[in-house]
Structure 1
Amino acid sequence: MPNPYDVERTWPDYFLEHRRLTVEQQGTYRCGELPVWTVYCPHGYLGNATIIEGDDGLIVYDTGVNMDAGQVIAAEIAKISDKPVVAVFYSHHHPDHYNGTRAIVDPADVESGAVKIYAWGNFDAERANEFGEILPRQSMGSAYYGGAFLSPDDKHHHGIGTVPSSGAAGFIPPTDLLPGNTTVTIARIRLEIFYTGGEAISEFGIHLPDLDMVLIADEFFTGLPNTHTIRGSKPRIAENYITALERVLDIEPLWLLGSHIMPIQGKQLIRDTVTRYRDATQYLWDQSIRLINKGYTPVELQHALKDVPEELIDPPYTVPMYGTPFTNVPEYFTGWVSWFSGDATDLFPSLPDHKARRMVELMGGVDAVVDAAKDDHSAGDHQLAAELTQLALRAAPDHEDARLLKAAALRARGYREVNPIARSWYLTGALELEKAFDPGDLLRSMLSQLGAAAAPAEIVRGWRYLLDADKAAGVDLTVGLKFTDSGEQITARIRHRVLVVDDGIAEDCDAVIELTAADLETGTRPTVVSGDATAWSTLLGLIDREITGFTMHMR
């Protein structure tokens, strides 16, 4: 049913101004007369590629968010030069920096060694952690923070461009992992590679000393750094951003290029702009630590550090259009202190629904709470209205009026929010409450976009996170797996309700199986080489591979 609580769609003025800057930029821009180009895809600054022309080949720094973007980049490369791409650099392990590769280079050329793909030494491990082990939760979070279900009328953008709602992944694994800071020469272009590790712990920049240029990916944005992403990630280290930006200042380049910015030319302009960005990052980090040491909790930090000081505001850079203080500073508590507030009451709290039922009872019942929320919503306190309806829904999940009122409160809160990511989450939360999409369908759609092809052994190793521990009670099972398509051989062992995977075939296997990667997906009965013919079906029966969506705002 339509939501009876109508909310007028509005935007803060700067939201639309910033959108024009970042979304409406597309095309290819050359850095003066230098053999360097930045390619902006139709999504604005989301996943630019930098093309460097050497004597006998091209170097590509980042390849775009998906195959569609990769095809745009490939078409632009063809206009620039007919030289072959000989090297690709993945600045870090986030998908908007590597998923266009197959459109730009032929996998066969990578396999033959004609094209090298460089990434930092921990790229594979970090990618597996952030977009493998917790991929379902990341997929849901990415949809909420990226505006996947918002109407075009919402004019959503991501602070750095728009996030595509579809598109195939074109990832090719790196061939060369960088062990540390190093200098390489490719196509007679000298590249000084230096670690940054800000937005991603696998991140690096490149200094091109002969061109007086620095390439930096996600430590410098059109927007404050996102030192915490609400879609979910491990803590990001503010000091790494600061150190990366100081490296740029020490180099004093004439050109600064990035994966989410327009090229900046001029030593003084770069010095002034990067200094403010660096200092804004340090300001929020240092002041958070100061207040944490005075006993402030995460919520108190949010209210104490709502903005950076006026002298540090430098549009379009140090504005809350990617990261924002109220989502960054709580992470400095939870990431560096604890999830625990310090009040022993919070050590092992009541379940939210149990607490909500008791509180609603004391407040006069669900209807009384919803009536109070209506008053707050009408008075313009949409946050408090959302909090009251959250309490009501935890006590009475089927209360339709509470659900629709909460949706309206979140929508009103979102329309007032200038930060695109927070705005998207508010508005998507409202759609969820109105049952505008099915969480299961959402999860399946996002998994198809963010997931990437994995080797069979890697898939089985990931099953440790899918093991149904209750079903595995008392099970002691060892199965050897020989993959005839990849040549991999591993042993999967279930004991003490955990799954352990080792390389090679163990001598004590209950069964040895021959199979292919496709058999993992389809559950097709493989060939039993030796041992218990039921071992494979027993193993599969313990793995919880059901894709079940979950709600963010109805719990």
Structure 2
Amino acid sequence: MRRRILVSLFLSLCAVVSAEGKLDYSKRKEATKFTIEKNNEIERQLDFSNKKDFEEARKGFIATWPDNKILDENGNVVWNFESFDFLGVEDNKKSPDTVNPSLWRNAQLNQINGLFKVTDGIYQVRGFDLGNITFVRGDKGWIVIDMCTTVEVAKAGYELLKTHVADLPITGVIATHSHLDHFGGIKGVVSKEDVASGKVPFIAPDTFFEESVSENLIAGNAMGRRASYMYGSILPRDEKGTVDAGLGKAVSVGTNTILEPSKVVEKTGEKLTIDGIEFDFLMANGTEAPSEFMFYIPKYKAFCGAEVINRTLHNISTLRGAQTRDALKWSKSIDQAVQLYGDKSEVIFAPHYWPKWGQEDIKDMLEKHRDTYKFIHDQTLRLANQGQTPIEISEMVKLPDALNKEFFNRGYYGTVSHNTKAVYDKYFGAWWDGNPSNLYKLPPVEAAKNYVEFMGGETEVIEKAKGSYDKGEYRWVVEILNQVIFANPKNKEARELSADAMEQLGYQAESGPWRAYFLTGAQELRNGVVALPTPNPLSKDMINGLPTLNFLDYLAVRVNPEKANGLDLKINIKFTDLNEDYSVVLKNSVLNSYDKLQKNPNSEIILTRDTFNKMLLKETTFEKEIKNNNIKVTNPENVNKLVGTLDNFKFWFNIVEPNVQ
């Protein structure tokens, strides 16, 4: 029993919640007359007759993957090209009533997939993942820029290139930033040995590796659950479900890898020559990612905008949850690109979306993209300085037509509405709007019960909500019925009506994540939370690269103070293969960690980091490694006391109804 408890100390990151259950989509409704009219307004507002984006998205097409699926070595589907066939791209299918026509247009554009020639010497594979993989011709081979999310997709892209352009070796690899969909497939194009030996240079921005392996660790469970909403992971791909992620089609599901760069770029203006090709770098840390750069390739007069420059308004605060980004810094980074390369670039490409050609069009796009982020930033602060609150500001800030009517500034991923709130959060903190009545509010359930009682009871509120629904006031219906649901989550009538209203909001949403959030909320209100199997998010490379202190910090957020009350423990941890020592101290119901040993410890754990990694990956067990004499523990009862204080996080926690503690 003691050994089993001790195992959880090392396997805590790998806890997977799963349950059997069948998702029921039979309760989905058609679009109402109000939703149809709302979507018709978008068609009248924007110039859907302009087909230039479709021409550019198809420009330079060479070939696509010969099969309808990309499979892993075990035959599992990594990417299914057919799952979005309902979009009818080649037939120019009109948007259905259940999808915002602007989002439908964006979804069709992102569905155009294959290998494309960007310009002489640059090729791109698009539509195989959320992002693209780009190949630049060097003197002796191919330089790869961003490797998509999975090994299988990156490998498929490289095979397509070798088959249809030139069968040459990989001579360099570049990751523009520290998000998984830009480096996860790296081992599909290059080996660890080739990078380590210097045969193939791997270039990334400063702090890339640290940010990549540490991102989302401490808050990862909540972020993961919210991401299931943001990307619609429980929704079907059809006209009433997922049509697009906003930034791309979807995320491929396969093998994630990472390697440590052989060279990091630290400052703007730094130049590197890779396989005979010069790259001029422009740092953009702290914009879309904590570690990010853009660059210019003089030989090809091509600029790579990383994920700073996109054909959509991006997120200043992402709905899945992340540290709020800096809209002002974002706009200034784009402005630097304009000043340094706006008059030089003849093509701009990026790891999402299709390229833009022509110096005049590129400069116009960059300036308007820059000004969109700057406008959102400046107007939020202008109104905040006049005393307006985040919700008020989000209703008041509207982009001017010169910015708003450009498709590349539309809110397919981020939105003006939630980005203004993010800017407010950056300066003031989003938890409070400055009104003392909101300083010490009741918790949601207690407040909801009082609201419902004051409004005459559940039946009265629902009847009034029905009247609002019949008027197309879906935002209000969702808001007011949320009180009934949190007061009494078993009220089926309230759940069904709120789900119907959320669904209509989803059908109206131009943002892919907003659509997914509303439709997922409707699904869970109608059917409850179905705890599906969740994959282990930790790849071998991520585990190997995870700093030990980061892992120990994660353990600290799992400490339940009531269980830890009165405990005073010091535990030393020795990794003999690395000759590294660590320790944790539990006192005052707080767990602190150190990269040194404590004097007079209560317990000591001696093992190798390799053994530690294998246990996290479930390749072995704690009991087996003790039996094999690979782990030594003194006074295990004290370690068990520490482990006994740790909470296990449930992945499928409630979002649209109360969580029962």
TM over 0.5: yes
* 1:546 Cα deviation from its structure 2 partner: 4.3
Q: Deviations over 1:221-259 (max 9, x none)?
A: 121232221111111111222122222222121121111
Query: How far did 1:155 drift?
Result: 4.6
What pairs up with 1:22-101 in 2 under 5 angstroms? Answer: 22=110, 24-33=111-120, 35-43=121-129, 46-79=130-163, 80-101=165-186
Higher RCO (CA 8 Å, separation ≥ 6 residues):
2
Q: Which runs of 5+ in 1 are unaligned?
A: none
Partners of 1:348 and 1:412 lie apart in 2 by 33
Matches of 1:2 and 1:112 in 2, distance apart? Answer: 53
Report the 3-state secondary structure (helix = DSSP H, G, I; strand = E; otherwise coil) of the residue aligned with 1:424.
helix
Give the Cα–Cα distance (whole angstroms) in 1 for the partners of residues 376 and 555 of structure 2: 40
Residue in 2 aligned with 1:312? 403
Structure 2 unaligned residues grouped into runs of 5+: 1-23, 32-96
1:245 aligns with 2:334: yes
- Equivalent residue number for residue 523 of structure 2: 431
Matches within 5 A, 1:29-428: 29-33=116-120, 35-43=121-129, 46-79=130-163, 80-127=165-212, 130-153=215-238, 154-164=241-251, 166-181=253-268, 182-197=270-285, 198-250=287-339, 251=341, 252=343, 253-305=345-397, 307-338=398-429, 339-428=431-520
Q: Letter of the aligned partner of 1:318 in structure 2?
A: N
2:638 to 535, 539, 549: 535
Task: Describe the shift of the 1:396–1:236 C-alpha distance in structure 2 as closer, same or farther (beyond 3 A).
Answer: same
Helix, strand or coil: the match of 1:39?
strand
Aligned mates of 2:542, 2:338 — CA distance in 1: 37
Identity of aligned residues (%): 24
Q: Give the total of aligned pairs.
A: 548
1:9-24 → structure 2 map (5 Å cutoff): 10-22=98-110, 24=111
Which deviates further from its counterpart, 500-509 or 375-384? 500-509
Q: Hey, what's the Cα distance between the residues in 2 that align with 1:116 and 1:87?
A: 5
Once the two structures are TM-superposed, the CA of residue 131 in structure 1 deviates from its matched residue by 2.1
CA distance in 1, matches of 2:311, 2:396: 24
Which residue of the partner structure matches residue 544 of structure 1?
647
Instruction: Give the superposed CA RMSD.
Output: 2.6
Q: Secondary structure at the match of 2:147?
A: coil
Give yes or no for contact 1:220–1:258 (8 Å, CA) kept in 2: yes
* 1:324 alignment partner AA: T
Contact 1:3–1:404 at 8 Å: present in 2 too? no
SS for the counterpart of 1:501 is strand
TM-score by length of 1: 0.91
> Counterpart of 1:229 in 2: which secondary structure?
coil
Q: Distance in 1 between matches of 2:489 and 2:252?
A: 30
Distance, in Å, in 1 between the alignment partners of 2:588 and 2:201 is 43
Alpha-carbon shift at residue 446 of structure 1 (Å): 7.8
The residue matched to 2:419 in structure 1 has which SS? helix
Contact 1:298 1:333 in 2 (8 A): yes
The residue type equivalent to 1:48 in the other structure is N
Q: Is the 8 A contact 2:176 2:293 kept in 1?
A: yes
Instruction: Indicate the larger mover: 374-383 or 49-58.
Output: 49-58
For the Cα contact (< 8 Å) 1:476–1:494, is it kept in 2? Answer: yes
Conservation of the 8 A alpha-carbon contact between 2:127 and 2:249: no
Contact conserved, 2:138 with 2:171, CA < 8 A, in 1?
no
Instruction: Output the CA distance in 2 between the equivalents of 1:56 and 1:499.
Output: 53
Specify the code of the residue in structure 2 equivalent to 1:88: V
TM-score norm. by structure 2 comes to 0.77
Q: State the alpha-carbon separation in 1 of the partners of residues 248 and 502 from structure 2.
A: 23
Shift of 1:67: 2.8
Structure 1 Cα separation of the partners of residues 284 and 261 of structure 2? 19
SS, match of residue 434 in structure 1: helix
Write the letter of the residue equivalent to 2:653. F
Deviations 1:370-389 (A, max 9, x none): 12112211221111111121
Deviations 1:373-431 (CA, angstroms, capped at 9, x unpaired): 12211221111111121010111121111112111110011111122111111001111
Amino acid at match of 1:135: G
CA distance in 2, matches of 1:123, 1:434: 42
Whether the 8 Å contact between 1:63 and 1:100 is mirrored in structure 2 is: yes
Which range is displaced more, 445-454 or 208-217? 445-454
| Residues 18 and 532 of structure 1, relative CA distance in 2, 3 Å threshold | same
2:595 to 498, 503, 521: 503
Structure 2 CA distance for aligned equivalents of residues 534 and 109 of structure 1: 46
> Shift of residue 107 of structure 1?
2.3
Q: Which secondary structure state, in structure 2, belongs to the residue aligned with residue 409 of structure 1?
A: helix
Q: Secondary structure at the match of 1:322?
A: coil
Structure 2 partner of 1:453? 543
Cα deviation digits, residues 306-357 of structure 1 (max 9, x gap): x421122354301121221111111111221223211112112111211111
Tell me the distance in 2 between the aligned counterparts of 1:447 and 1:529: 28
Q: Secondary structure at the match of 1:152?
A: coil
The 3 A distance-change label for structure 1 pair 266 and 173 is: same
Return closer, same or farther for 1:274/1:546 CA change in 2, 3 Å cut-off.
Answer: closer
